[in-house]
Chain A
Amino acid sequence: MLMATTHEQLDELLAADLHDELTTAERDEFHAHLVECAECRVAFQEGKTMNRILNETMSEKKADPGFEQRMVSQFRDRVPKRSGLIALVTDLMRVRAVQLTAVAAVLLALAQMGKMITGESATPKMRSDNSVALAESQYRSEQEKPGATLQAAGVLGKNDGRTKTVADVSRPAEAPPPPPPMDAVTSTAPKPVEALRRVPSSLASAKTKKAEFKDEKTPASTVEAVEQSEPETSGTPSATNAAANRKLVRNATAELEVASFDESVQKITAFAAEEKGYVSTTSSEKQANGKLRGEIVVKVLPENLDRFLGKLRGIGELKNQALTTEDVTKTYFDTESRLKNARLMEQRLIEILKTKSKDVADLLEVEKELGRVREEIETMQGELKFMDSQVAFATVTITLAEKNMNLPAAFLLKERAQLSLYATEVEKTYNDIKALASPKVQITNAQIDRDNTGRVSARLSLLLAPDESEAVINQIKAMARVENFQVTTDRVSQGGDGLGENAKTERDKVELNITLSRDEQEIALQTTSLRIQTPEVNDKTKQLRALAEQQGGRIRTSSFSRDPNGREYSNVSLRVPMKNYNALIQSLNGLGKVENVSVRRDDRPNSQTDEANAPADVSIQVYSQGNIVSADTGIWATLRRTIGQGAAALMWSVRMIGVAIAFLAPWALILAAIGWVLRRVSRARTARKEKTDETIDAQ
């Protein structure tokens, strides 16, 4: 057994033995086998020879001694050493961790960029810090310049609190020049006010207020600072002085709801007298419901205005109030100075008139000019006076309205009627209604429609005088069958809303809308269908027609048919008034056996229907029992039918085969094509292989 495996593994063991790669045990075993097996001994001899030959031939071809050195130097030539930094970077980039870090960094950078673009970052905070620092540095640089301190303080004073604190903080540390900026502002604050107060008196010598101001501006920077700080100083005592010097026009409006208009007017007059004022105008207006509404204009001294308004509140309920103040100081003083100039001009002209009275033409010219100047003076005086009066008294406009202003004065009853009619002859009824027109019955709209199937419908709108309305409506109702009649009445209050117990009620014109349709279109109130079995269909149908005629019914459709089994059918559908319905059904019993009676009633709960005249539809099928054996039976008929069915089945199977082909054929074609391509490819591959083998063989 062991020998057998050794023998089988001869090649492997032989090679390993020759290459001295067998373990001692293996070698012993192998050599033992060689002693026994002649075949293996021959092989061993051959192997040994071949090993020797191979060793000899192959070692000749192996690489020469300088091979390694050649390889290294060629490698150096082909892969030049990179300079330090680039090499380091490229080597670094090949480390996995570095690659990951780089990717993360790129992503972070992108995210940051996106944030910056969308402005979601926290940079604004930094910027505000910067601006503070900037302000501080500016302040410092200006502190070094003499005389610029006040200007800087003014600028800072105008700014918000933050920058001000910067100035405050920096001040004690820096030890600024003698007058600290803020103190300077307060101490110089009254100065311009004084200047302002002096303005009217100094107008005689100065041309404009601006010029006056300029004289006052001794150190330019101081005044600038003061001017800027002025709005802030309002509220200090000096500010009220300034206000007193100003020409202010005060106006107030108030809207009040009071119990009684006249009483309120009296009260207001009393208040006006108390506050050294007067009532300038009153006006009132009586409403339709007897309530008063009006306006009172009161003039009071401006300083008493607020007290007066407070008193007003006591009169009634204050709806709204507004107080406006207009500053006319500039206009006033402008006008005043222009007046001064005009007076001077007048004076001069009079001089000229007195001294140089030689040329008549010149005199006339001067006279004319004098007239113009005087006119001007008067206009300006008037303007000033008006403004003075405006300033002297405040105007209060009071709107008074009595309570329950909106109580209705009268009610109007508006009736609107809707009438739907079914008429046998629409056009005739339509013309009849139109004929009713008179001064008290006005037709506002009338139209008649006929569509291509011959259906006719009409629509009319009428306006009826209230006293005639009922009679006219009844007259129209009598003309045709009423399907529906609806009246809606609206009570419209006039001049307000609410109950208005004392208000009158009047009836307005009645609006009547009529729709006219052909009675054929009316849906039957009751629908009945039944069957009558009788041997003589034709005769009974004739009788049925006669019966229907008797009961005032109208045949709408009828048909007759006979089937191959000899069965006869006659379908009749007719319409009869509801009042005659029962009589008709009773009489039908005489015609034959009544079967399959079904009745459907279509109640219309929301309409007022004239039930006796409402239509009822009856559809009757009169039929006979046919032959027991139909013509369509028997051997030939059966045979014919069987062949027919067989042919049909055959055709069906042909169709199914067609469908199957349609399903499968494309796939079969595609698969065949793929198979063909694969075969071509594999054939080409084997051909190439054979060719290579040939070339190898050729070598």
Chain B
Amino acid sequence: MDTAEHAVYRAAIQGDRDAFERVIRLTSRQLFAIAYGILQNREEAEDVVQDTFVKAWKARWRIRDSAKLPAWLSTIARHRARDMARKRKPERLPENFESTEAVELEGATGERADLDHEVRSALAQLPELHRVAVTLRYFEDLDYGTIERTLGLTNGALRGILGRALGLMRKRLKPALATAG
């Protein structure tokens, strides 16, 4: 992390609104990826990111080490997303969610839609952290270093997580991949 970024984090923690807005610009995409990784829903993920920043602003004096601000933000986002997922469980049962999704997907070719659906379900079956790591990687094409910082992981751990995640998905998608390949 460069010193300029660090200075921005520190200013944001000390209550500089401009610096905090800069932090929003820097981290919102990653947080969105995390939230989406957990919730698999754009609107909800966006709400989570929004809530995360409001909450972080109000509780910013709690963080001591400014370098850990991104990791702290992602922790908040993950908690928030998990809360939301828990809350919506009963009302997600109605079938109209599936139907809207289906309508949306109809735009793509039949084969692509199938593959897309399978990828999604394979992703959904991964453990939460794996899902988040995969989403971060493929959404924003982030390098491992940034992902590690965002999720507060070591290099070895992240490699293991991504490897296992992709391996699992690969096994699940094997038939589909065979046809696609």
Contacts and interface: CB of A to CB of B under 8 A. Distances in A.
A58 B169 CA distance: 14
A74 B33 CA distance: 18
Contacts of B46: 67, 70
A553 B169 CA distance: 123
A75 B58 CA distance: 12
Q: Is the interface of A mostly helix, strand, loop or mixed?
A: helix
Interface string B6-27: 0000000011010011001100
Instruction: Give the interface size class of chain B.
Output: 35 or more
A72 to B, nearest CB: 5
A690 interface: no
A14 B115 contact: no
Given A19-B162, A78-B50, A62 B170 contact: no
A57 B33 CA distance: 14
B166 A15 contact: yes
A21 interface: yes
A148 to B, nearest CB: 67
Interface residues of A, number: 47
A458 to B, nearest CB: 97
B61 A94 contact: yes
B29 A68 contact: yes
A13 B163 contact: yes
A61 interface: yes
Nearest to A20: B143
A81 B17 contact: yes
B1 interface: no
B137 interface: yes
Contact of B163 (A15, A45, A59, A695): A15
A16 B159 contact: yes
B21 A72 contact: yes
A327 interface: no
Interface in B103-159: 115-116, 119-120, 124-125, 134-135, 137-140, 143-144, 159
A14 B138 CA distance: 16
A50 B163 contact: no
Contact of B57 (A79, A87, A692, A696): A79
Contacts of A21: 143-144, 159
Interface in A37-94: 43, 45-47, 49-51, 53-55, 57-59, 61-63, 67-68, 70-72, 74-76, 78-79, 81, 87, 91, 94
B52 to A, nearest CB: 10
B102 interface: no
Interface string B51-95: 001100110010000000000000000000000000001001100
Nearest to B21: A72
Nearest to B61: A94
Contacts of B20: 75
Nearest to B37: A58
B163 A16 contact: yes
Contacts of B166: 11, 14-15, 18, 47, 50-51
A57 B114 CA distance: 12
A12 interface: yes
A209 B66 CA distance: 99
Given A63-B139, A78-B50, A71 B177 contact: no
A699 interface: yes
B61 A63 contact: no
A71 B28 contact: yes
A55 B159 CA distance: 18
Contact of A11 (B57, B61, B164, B178): B164
A67 to B, nearest CB: 6
B177 A50 contact: yes
A695 to B, nearest CB: 6
Contacts of B180: 49, 53
A15 B144 CA distance: 11
Contact of B50 (A12, A15, A58, A74): A74
B169 A50 contact: yes
Contact of B119 (A54, A67, A94): A54
Given A16-B162, A74-B50, A695-B92, A59 B170 contact: no
A68 B25 contact: yes
Interface string B157-181: 0011011111101100110011011
Contacts of A698: 93
B174 A75 contact: no
Contacts, number: 132
A130 B54 CA distance: 58
B28 to A, nearest CB: 4
A50 B138 contact: no
B18 to A, nearest CB: 10
A46 B159 contact: no
B138 A78 contact: no
A18 B92 CA distance: 35
A97 to B, nearest CB: 12
B94 to A, nearest CB: 12
- Among B42, B89, B163, B164, find the residue whose CB has the most chain A CB atoms closer than 10 A: B163
Given A11-B164, A15-B163, A19-B144, A46 B36 contact: no
Contacts of B139: 58-59, 61-63
Contacts of B116: 57
B173 A75 contact: no
B49 A695 contact: no
B89 A695 contact: yes
Contact of A19 (B28, B36, B137): B137
A64 B78 CA distance: 21
A53 B119 contact: yes
Interface string A16-39: 101101000000000000000000
B138 A58 contact: yes
A58 B143 CA distance: 16
B36 to A, nearest CB: 7
A696 B121 CA distance: 10
A192 to B, nearest CB: 84
B39 to A, nearest CB: 11
B163 A71 contact: no
A67 B20 CA distance: 16
Interface string B34-46: 0010001010001
Nearest to B15: A91
Given A16-B163, A53-B180, A71-B50, A43 B170 contact: yes
Contact of B124 (A76, A94, A696): A696
A49 B181 contact: yes
B135 A15 contact: no
A55 B163 contact: no
A55 B28 contact: no
Given A11-B164, A49-B180, A50-B177, A72 B24 contact: yes
Given A12-B162, A72-B21, 16 more contacts: A15-B166, A16-B159, A46-B173, A53-B115, A53-B177, A54-B134, A55-B138, A61-B36, A61-B139, A63-B28, A63-B29, A67-B28, A71-B28, A75-B53, A76-B21, A699-B124
> Can you list the 7 inter-chain pairs with the closest CB atoms, starting with the nearest?
A12-B163, A11-B167, A58-B138, A94-B61, A11-B163, A62-B139, A15-B163
Interface of B: 14-15, 17, 20-21, 24-25, 28-29, 32-33, 36, 40, 42, 46, 49-50, 53-54, 57-58, 61, 89, 92-93, 115-116, 119-120, 124-125, 134-135, 137-140, 143-144, 159-160, 162-167, 169-170, 173-174, 177-178, 180-181
24 contacts: A11-B167, A12-B164, A15-B159, A15-B165, A15-B166, A15-B167, A16-B162, A16-B163, A19-B137, A21-B143, A46-B178, A50-B173, A50-B177, A55-B138, A58-B139, A59-B138, A62-B33, A63-B33, A63-B139, A67-B46, A71-B50, A72-B21, A75-B54, A95-B61
